[in-house]
Amino acid sequence: MAKKTPEINASSQADIAFLLLVFFLITTTMDVDKGIQRRLPPMPEENQQEQDVKINRRNIVVVKINSQDRIMVGTSPAEVGEIKDKIVEFLTNPTDDPNMPEKETKFIEGLGNYPVSRGVVSLQNDKGTLYNTYIQVQNEIVRAINQIRDQFAQEHYGKKFAQLDEDKQKIVKEAVPQNISEAEPKDVKGKK
């Protein structure tokens, strides 16, 4: 009988694989970038530059940040923490105040008629504003809108917005639109 070939010792295979594994573990960057997503308005055409969309004064709330990072919401100064509630109150207009945004009854597929707020948040900043402050304010505005969406989702579907399926999220987004306008910087308009 021929002598059996001894089995090749495979125990070091694991070590080799581990070595490679460690290498890739270290080089992997798993960090997913997160942030605040925005859509910029398209650049106006040369000939229609002055043709701004007329928005009723009551439908617009101006959030201003000056070069000292002081914040104004509407006509009164505010701290970062106060912005959210002010925006929520403005956009939902619970008392149907004539100085706050009107509501337009809109037909939304899958929901029916719903009074959609026409409120727009206009964000204006100075050249000297800190980026950090700007992001904080953006964040607060998004937080306000998310709160309204959550509330809406809770009332209509009994769930939070994030837990709804895609179709329902679309409905909620239509009922509570995210209308943030960023003002045209003044000096850029003059130059070009």
User: In the complex, which residues of this chain contact other proteins (CB under 8 A)?
Assistant: 10-11, 13-14, 17-18, 20-21, 24-25, 27-30, 32-43, 65, 125-132, 134-136, 138-139, 142-143, 146, 182, 185, 188
Nearest 10 degrees: Cα torsion 55, 42, 71, 33: 140
State in angstroms the smallest separation of the CB of 180 from other proteins.
12
**Cα(118)–Cα(101) distance, rounded to whole angstroms?**
6
State in angstroms the smallest separation of the CB of 94 from other proteins.
23
The residue (of 146 and 181) whose beta carbon lies closer to other proteins is 146
- 40, 182, 54, 50: which is closest to 123 by C-alpha? 182
**Cα(101)–Cα(93) distance, rounded to whole angstroms?**
7
Burial class for 91, CB neighbours closer than 10 Å (0-12, 13-18, 19+): buried
The CA-CA-CA angle for residues 116, 119, 124, to 5°, reads 155
The residue (of 77 and 128) whose beta carbon lies closer to other proteins is 128
The residue (of 70 and 106) whose beta carbon lies closer to other proteins is 70
State in angstroms the smallest separation of the CB of 136 from other proteins.
7
State in angstroms the smallest separation of the CB of 16 from other proteins.
8
State in angstroms the smallest separation of the CB of 4 from other proteins.
19
- 184, 188, 179, 160: which is closest to 38 by C-alpha? 179
